[in-house]
Amino acid sequence: MALLTQTVTTETAINWEELAQKIRKNESGLRVGDVITEQTKDDEELDLVVVDMGPGWARFESKDCLPAEVPYNQNGRNAGGFAESGVKWHLDNVVFASLPEELQAVISEVERVQEGGKTYRCQLFLPTESEMFGNCSYSGDDHYKQIEYYKDRRHRIKCNRKGGTPDWYYLASVASGSSTSCVYVSGIGSSIYWYHASDELCVPVCFIIQ
């Protein structure tokens, strides 16, 4: 059973379906910064942080990444953006399958927008450069506003696994004016673009319940 740690430092065992129903009814009592600790099927422990919320929905992102490093695209190109990327395939087919069935059942399919206004649907996704940093230094992926939680640089730093060391991780955004570069977050919480989409970096777990 998953364990909820709230910002008032209380711990409560939770049932995902019951929590999802309360989120939809605005009765969850969750606040930004609350943490739900869950374990994947391959025994990786994840601290899932409430990073944003509103009427009838809550957005969760893992405090740290999963240890597997993956390329944005094996062919080294960024054409098609996140919607057509290998890293999205990895989230859809590998990471999602590793989550407990109880959690899988409540994760909502949502519509997301990427560079150029293209939309795609997904259950797991990566944050964009604008959601993480507000301004876009390297991409044109400015559809979303900065998430308040990520205005604190410390919250942008993620380890390569819970209890691991700070590491680089991919964002959904690709670099403007380049056919190969993608945007990522460094081990000190800064935005950087990486030259080759075939290079392997960590990814966090991000989803919405609504």
159-188 confidence digits (pLDDT tens): 999 999 999 999 999 888 788 889 999 999
Instruction: Name the least confident of 8-17, 75-84, 148-157.
Output: 8-17
The 3-state secondary structure of 142-188, one letter per residue: CCCCCCHHHHCHHHHCCECCCCCCECCEEEEEECCCCCCCEEEECCC
Residues in the chain: 210
Evaluate if residue 23 carries a pLDDT over 90.
Answer: yes
Q: What is the pLDDT of residue 178?
A: 83
What are the structural domain ranges in the chain? 2-61, 70-203
Mean pLDDT of the chain: 93
Confidence band of 105 (pLDDT split at 50, 70, 90): very high
Evaluate if residue 200 carries a pLDDT over 90.
Answer: yes
Q: What is the pLDDT of residue 32?
A: 98
With a CB cutoff of 8 Å and minimum separation 6, the contacts of 145 are 130, 131, 134
The Cα–Cα gap between 57 and 195 comes to 36
**Mean pLDDT of all residues in 64-75:** 97
The pTM assigned to this predicted structure is 0.92
Please list, residue by residue across 186-199, b when 16 or more beta carbons sit within 10 angstroms of its beta carbon and e when fewer do: eeebebebbeebbb
Q: What is the pLDDT of residue 143?
A: 84
